[in-house]
């Protein structure tokens, strides 16, 4: 490798890449390689704000400035489409969520000698980074880390996962891998929940979550409606990112009279689109389905919630043809079977939200092959400084 090569972009896993295809960890666009292979920082290389960067697996791109981050998010979705022979008529500027905006996270905890270590895992490792600061979590989530150390110090053997979510009533804290053994540990859990005004505290030793504290149902507001948040239910990582994705759906479907919301979850899109539109919300996870259904009924939203596994039993082309549009937001694997039915239907408008550009692009190719055009693509980077990228897209035929 000759000295002086310039980094031209960031690859999917976060490495800088030169024009010749050389991958360099920790490099940003505009950096150059010295004769000894060392990185010579360029105009888009910045000082990472967190002391744990380059060790903690939570962030991969803290060394890149805003422009480089936005370009990375855009490139991830545009290159995925181009890899399937698809060009969007319009690519919107990438939306980046700000620092300290993550409202949910899974932390890990284990004993490290006499101390309880809590944090994210190292990149490509099961080893844990004992968190002393975090620039992606909301402040109220990080503020709970030190108190959690004190709580968990009461357990001698410890290897747990901690799901934290900011709700309307405080933080929901769901701990997997422990159970209270005796009165002292039970009282410690209750004191902790009360002292830190938790919305909910559950523990799970492998047999399922057991409620320890939940004075009132933990709720999140979706589409202006409070919705109960079941343990383990999917929620967009940040309110900022959720707002960007919902705005896209409203822009593209705001005048639509009937919409099928597939993989609807708690109703993030269904409740936002309902009234003027009538929405069929289809979801396989029973708890999420029931939460969406109850919220819509309680607040008079025109949402018909259907409990259905769309992987095993996708909506038929005939049923889909009864709607003016479809919105789908599937898991990372995509929605091949359901997309096949959409392609076979008479639908002319599809909004596809995705957390995986690769599976989205494969599904998008199927739509394009059957007459759809990718009218607009909106890249969303709500996982700040991460290589995890999301998108919203509009297909019309």
- What amino acid positions are annotated as catalytic residues? 355
Report d(CA 372, CA 361) in Å as an integer. Answer: 13
**How many CB atoms lie under 10 A from the CB of residue 369?**
12
Question: End-to-end distance of the chain based on CA atoms, in angstroms?
Answer: 48
3-class secondary-structure state, position 44? coil
Alpha carbon 128 to chain centroid, angstroms = 21
The answer to whether 171 and 144 are in contact (CB under 8 A) is yes
Q: Rounded CA gap, 258 and 279, in Å? A: 6
- CA-based nearest residue to 222, from 238, 242, 208: 242
Rounded CA-CA distance 101/363 in Å is 30
Tell me how far the alpha carbon of residue 116 is from its chain's centroid. Answer: 28
Q: What is the DSSP letter of 80?
A: H
**8-state DSSP, 144:** T
Alpha carbon distance 276, 301 (integer Å): 9
Residue 76: closest CA among 390, 392, 393:
390
As a whole number of angstroms, the longest Cα–Cα distance in the chain is 67
Compute the distance between CA of residue 238 and CA of residue 324 in angstroms, rounded to an integer: 29
CB 300 within 8 A of CB 280: no
φ, ψ (nearest 5 deg) of residue 188? -65, -40
Rounded to whole angstroms, the Cα distance separating 338 from 330 reads 10
Two tokens at 224? 């202006």
Do 304 and 261 touch, CB atoms closer than 8 A? no
Query: What's the CA gap between 106 and 97, in Å, rounded?
Result: 19
């Amino acid at each position: 490798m000759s000295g002086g090569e310039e980094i031209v972009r960031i690859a999917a896993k976060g490495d800088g890449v030169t024009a010749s295809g050389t991958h360099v960890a920790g490099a940003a666009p505009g950096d150059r390689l010295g004769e000894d292979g060392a990185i010579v920082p360029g105009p888009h290389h910045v000082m990472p704000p967190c002391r744990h960067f380059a060790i903690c697996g939570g962030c991969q791109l803290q060394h890149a400035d805003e422009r480089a981050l936005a370009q990375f998010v855009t490139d991830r979705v545009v290159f995925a489409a181009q890899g399937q022979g698809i060009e969007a008529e319009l690519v919107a500027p990438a939306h980046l969520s700000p620092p300290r905006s993550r409202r949910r996270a899974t932390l890990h905890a284990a004993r490290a000698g006499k101390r309880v270590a809590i944090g994210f895992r190292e990149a490509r490792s099961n080893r844990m980074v004992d968190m002393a600061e975090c620039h992606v979590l909301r402040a109220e989530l990080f503020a709970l880390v030190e108190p959690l150390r004190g709580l968990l110090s009461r357990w001698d053997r410890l290897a747990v996962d901690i799901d934290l979510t900011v709700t309307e009533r405080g933080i929901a804290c769901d701990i997997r891998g422990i159970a209270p053994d005796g009165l002292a540990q039970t009282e410690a859990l209750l004191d902790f929940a009360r002292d830190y005004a938790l919305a909910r505290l559950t523990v799970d030793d492998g047999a399922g979550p057991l409620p320890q504290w939940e004075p009132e149902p933990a709720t999140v507001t979706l589409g202006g409606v409070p919705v109960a948040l079941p343990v383990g239910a999917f929620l967009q990582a940040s309110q900022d990112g959720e707002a960007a994705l919902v705005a896209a759906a409203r822009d593209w479907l705001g005048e639509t009279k009937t919409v099928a919301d597939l993989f609807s979850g708690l109703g993030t899109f269904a409740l936002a689109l309902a009234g003027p539109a009538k929405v069929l919300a289809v979801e396989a996870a029973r708890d999420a389905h029931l939460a969406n259904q109850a919220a819509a009924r309680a607040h008079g939203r025109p949402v018909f919630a259907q409990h259905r596994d769309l992987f095993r039993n996708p909506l038929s082309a005939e049923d889909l043809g009864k709607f003016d549009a479809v919105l789908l937001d599937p898991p990372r694997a995509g929605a091949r079977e359901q997309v096949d039915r959409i392609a076979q239907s008479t639908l002319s408008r599809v909004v596809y939200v995705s957390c995986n550009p690769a599976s989205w692009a494969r599904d998008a190719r199927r739509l394009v092959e059957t007459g759809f055009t990718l009218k607009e693509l909106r890249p969303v980077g709500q996982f700040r400084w991460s290589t995890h990228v999301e998108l919203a897209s509009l297909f019309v035929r």
